Amino acid sequence: MRWEPPACGAAGASAGRLLKNFTIVRFHAKLYTVKVHYHSYDAVIVGAGGAGLRAAIEVAGKVRTAVITKLYPTRSHTGAAQGGMCAALANVEEDYWEWHAFDTVKGGDYLGDQPAIDIMCREAIDAVIDLEHFGMPFSRTPEGRIDQRRFGGHTRNHGEAPVRRACYAADRTGHMILQTLYQQCVAHEVNFFNEFQVFDVLFDESGGQKRAAGVVAYELATGDLHVFVSKGVLFATGGYGKIFRISSNAHTLTGDGLGVLYRRGIPMQDLEFYQFHPTGIYGFGILLSEAARGEGGILRNGLGERFMERVAPTVKDLAPRDMVSRAIHAEIREGRGAGTDKDFVYLDLTHLPPEQIDAKLPDITDFARTYLGIEPKTQPIPIQPTAHYAMGGIPTNVEGEVVLDGKGTVVPGLYAAGECACVSVHGANRLGTNSLLDIVVFGRRGGRAMADYVKSVDHPEVPRGAEAEVRDRIERFKAASGGEKVPAIRTELQQTMTENASVVRTAESLRAAHAKIDELVERYHSIAIDDKGEVFNYDLVEAVELSHLLDLAKGLVVGAEARQESRGAHWRDDFPTRDDVNWMKHSLAHRGDDGDVRLEYKPVIGGRYQPMERKY
Amino acid sequence: MTMTAQPQSQVTAHEPKVTVHLKIKRYNPEVDTRPHWEEYEVQMSPGDRVLDALHQVKWTIDGTLSFRRSCAHGVCGSDAVVINGQNMLACVHLIRNVGTHLTIEPIRGLPVIKDLVVDMEPFFAQYRSILPYLIAYDDPGYKERLQSPEDRERFDDTTKCILCACCTTSCPVYWANDSYVGPAAIVSAHRFIFDSRDQAAAERLDILNQKSGVWRCRTAFNCTEACPRGISVTKSIEEVKRAILYDRV
């Protein structure tokens, strides 16, 4: 069943078509040198962060598998996660997975689908044990069990008091999970294609139904194209936090998986729900874990007041992130910020024992020293909310299958897991630690489901020259001579999103962002890149990534304009209450060929917890 | 409640910009036969990272400059380069601390592909050669293995490694002999050899007792100085040597 490479005729045919569009003479020689390689697999996983690697462990060894990643796996942003991963192990105090599920439902402001949340919180316990067996070096209790600590929004008995539920490895839990999963992939001899970036997804519609058929990837080291024909494709490409200026996200978090599928007719769910983490290092946006507050850290405004006492009398500084970020925003807006511009507040650790800081929070205190020249043992750390996590994304069911609508119609063979996916377990606001949980639980489930599926189907049909559109696009970028530059457009996008579509939104601010994005999309058509070469052409890659950022920013803003209520991370100053009658529903954004967004909605799947007012 | 301390004056968005001179070793395999130097000047805030200055060059002067980066705060290990002669991650050093005259080259000992991008495959192959995964033959059942905080502490330092290659590519032995597994691979081996749950220390010690293993180390300490995670790399290599010599872990 191996895919045969096409004869030169096929490549020549598509090249000929290109020449019609671009009659640039110096192009002739170049066109015929783009090499295309064909690969045939049962399963392809796109992305090698926590979700992709966890899926790979399930799939590799069972079916022929390729993992395609634009970075080296250990560079993935899972490694930047710090604080922990919640599971009701009850190692240090009484706890039940149902309490965890309640907190997750309430934390998500009743937009999460409760059957999926139940699965995540129940399987959390196994997921932690699995990681321990894989070699994860968790921090331990004196008895040698996995230690657990407090985290925002996680409570005992439905909101009574904070509970110690987060399993952790100092403040580098994500780093240790990423390393551990990669180590297991080395042990399982997983077949990695490192520094290959997926530019397109392929479908086979020959059987009357659309099903996944593979991806087209660009090899950074050579500029060659690779067509991976595959029965199953799982996207685990992470988030798109680079639509914002102040962001905890890596430069490479540009929503590639979402962007590629969105352009191919897959709707995006709940894009308007984007989380801002309360404690980003001032000016940089670098994450300082909620674990700092779990260990006893306190937020103070410019006057030295512990303002969270007013906002969340019971859990105080350990309220969920959306509430804390809004509280910080309010302090700054009302003139109680710190610094010359009164535009930040403090995270105060100075009252904690120095040895506790060294043992439990070594990395984040180092970040404060490195980037601000602050000694956190004696000085409070200036912080501001930072764009952190996309609750929305590629809609999936609990098996990781991509679903197209409210009826649960799936695209056979197409899967997604991790931040790029929306199951939805995080609803309108994710609780801290639940992202690391999400990637291991749904990475495993998606991988398993894909391994089962690909054993039951034939190889898909992919027409020769399936890479033609990607090749066109690359050549168009290289030939373009317009006056616009990728970095300028990206910077303006990030600026408008942080100013107008972040912690607090209004119809007016969103309209401004919408108009700006439309202008930038127009200008994007006239971009030119400097690098016309084949080898490590990041100039080209950034141009492609920018198209995803623009698409997703627009989807976010249009969804936020439509949603006339405040729920979780989506706060509208002009509609400051939650409206369960009209808005307890998920949005689905469809992208038109012209880039316009068409919204539809699907119901939230309820369960045993009825919506109630969200107080902490 | 009152603040116990005020932050230093560094925390301000309004520091005047300074002119930063960058001298960067460039090589494009599609055009050049050998590397050459190019110089750039950019305006940066003293609180900016060296990585920000590299981006400033790429984004405003010459888009063909290639370098790897991702997280931009020292946890992903993508942007190891040589800055003024020292191996560093470009994202964890501020202009204020490294100065305004920067000479930037690719890390040494690995083949240069383009500009500051080197071939990482030999590095990861050496990492894979020391069995970098937990090997335990007992069935732990459906529960966690126990590990005392003291046993956990025994290998804590070497769990911090982000595989950035700063250590290995600062090692003079590695420059001269690329069959040496290098400090990073030994650090990764140490992480498992001294993990009380692991049962394959002997196999790893056998691998590191070969002529490509720990005995190549001449304790130059370059690795320890280069490590952006503050790992005592040379010490961990010495601990592995002792484990081989005295047959104990």
pLDDT (tens digit per residue) in A347-362? 999 999 999 999 999 9
- A300, A341, A348 member nearest B13 (Cβ): A341
pLDDT band at A464 (very low <50, low <70, confident <90, very high): confident
Question: Does residue B10 have a pLDDT over 70?
Answer: no
Q: Which of A201, A207, A191 is nearest to A234 (CA)?
A: A201
d(CA A426, CA A452): 27
CB contact B9 to A (< 8 Å): no
What are the structure tokens assigned to B15, written together?
A: 């520091």
Q: How far apart are CA B93 and CA B38, in angstroms?
A: 21
What is chain B's mean pLDDT, rounded?
94
**What amino acid occupies position A348?**
D
- In angstroms, the first-to-last Cα distance of chain A is 58
Do the chains contact at B133 and A372, CB–CB below 8 Å? no
Mean pLDDT of A268-293: 96
Interface residue B103 vs chain A (CB under 8 A): no
> Around Cβ A52, how many Cβ atoms within 10 Å?
33
B59 and chain A: CB distance < 8 Å anywhere? yes
At B89 the pLDDT is 98
pLDDT tens for each residue of B14-61: 789 999 999 999 999 999 999 999 999 999 999 999 999 999 999 999
Higher pLDDT, residue B214 or A14: B214
| Confidence at residue B179, expressed as pLDDT on a 0 to 100 scale | 95
For residue A12, what pLDDT is reported? 34
| Half-sphere exposure (Cβ direction) of A483: Cα atoms closer than 13 Å | 0
Interface test with B, best of A34, A53, A123, A251 (most B CBs within 10 A): A251
Which pLDDT does position A118 carry in this prediction? Answer: 98
Which pLDDT does position A30 carry in this prediction? 47
Residue of A150, A245, A321, A567 marked catalytic: A321
- Per residue in A33-81, pLDDT (tens digit) is 689 999 999 999 999 999 999 999 999 989 999 999 999 999 999 999 9
Each residue's pLDDT tens digit, A221-258: 999 999 999 999 999 999 999 999 999 999 999 999 99
Which residues of chain A does B195 touch, with a Cβ-Cβ cutoff of 8 Å?
Answer: 135, 137
pTM of the model: 0.94
Chain B residues lying within 8 Å of A282, measured CB to CB = 11
Pairing assessment for the beta strands B86-89 and B101-106 based on DSSP bridges: unpaired
- Interface membership of B105 toward A (CB under 8 Å): no
Q: pLDDT value at position A31?
A: 47
Percent of chain A clearing pLDDT 70 (strictly above): 95
Tell me, what's the pLDDT at A243?
98
Does the structure show a pLDDT above 60 at B7?
no
CA distance B217 to chain A (A): 25
* Sheet with B101-106, edge to edge strand ranges: B36-44, B18-26, B101-106, B80-83, B86-89
Predicted pLDDT at B12: 57
Shortest CA distance from B97: residue in chain A: A370
Q: What span, in angstroms and rounded, lies between the C-alpha atoms of B101 and A264?
A: 48
* Residues A331, A344: Cα–Cα separation, whole Å: 9
- The per-residue pLDDT for B13 is 59
Contact B40, B21 (CB under 8 A): yes
Are the C-beta atoms of A322 and A265 separated by less than 8 Å?
no
Judge contact between A83 and A294, C-beta under 8 A: yes
Q: What is the pLDDT of residues B143-165, one digit of tens each?
A: 999 999 999 999 999 999 999 99
Q: Tell me the per-residue pLDDT of A502-513, one tens digit each, with 9 for 90 and over.
A: 999 999 999 999
Q: Which of B128, B143, B147 sits opposite A186 (nearest CB)?
A: B128
Q: How far off is chain A from B47, nearest CA to CA, in Å?
A: 7
B114–chain A Cβ distance below 8 A for any pair: yes
- Give the pLDDT confidence score for residue A27 in this predicted structure: 42
pLDDT at A158 over 80: yes
Residue A33: burial class (beta carbons within 10 Å; 0-12, 13-18, 19+): exposed
Q: Which residues contact A140 (CB under 8 A, 6 or more apart)?
A: A146, A147, B146, B147, B148, B149, B152
Residues A106, A111, A116, A122, Cα dihedral to 10°: -10
**Rounded to an integer, what distance in angstroms lies between the CA atom of residue A248 and that of residue B76?**
13
Where residue A8 falls among pLDDT bands split at 50, 70, 90? very low
Q: Which residues of B touch A122 (CB under 8 A)?
A: none
- Mean pLDDT, to the nearest integer, of A288-310? 96
Cβ neighbours of B72 in A, within 8 Å: 250-251, 286
Rounded Cα distance between A27 and B95, Å, is 42
B105 close to B81: Cβ distance less than 8 angstroms: yes
Nearest to A421 by CA among A193, A165, A237, A194: A237
Residue of A nearest to B72 (CA): A250
The pair of structure tokens assigned to A553 is 């920013």
Q: Give the mean model confidence (pLDDT) for residues A381-385.
A: 98
Question: What is the 3-state composition of chain A as percent helix, strand, coil, each rounded to the nearest 5?
Answer: 40, 20, 40
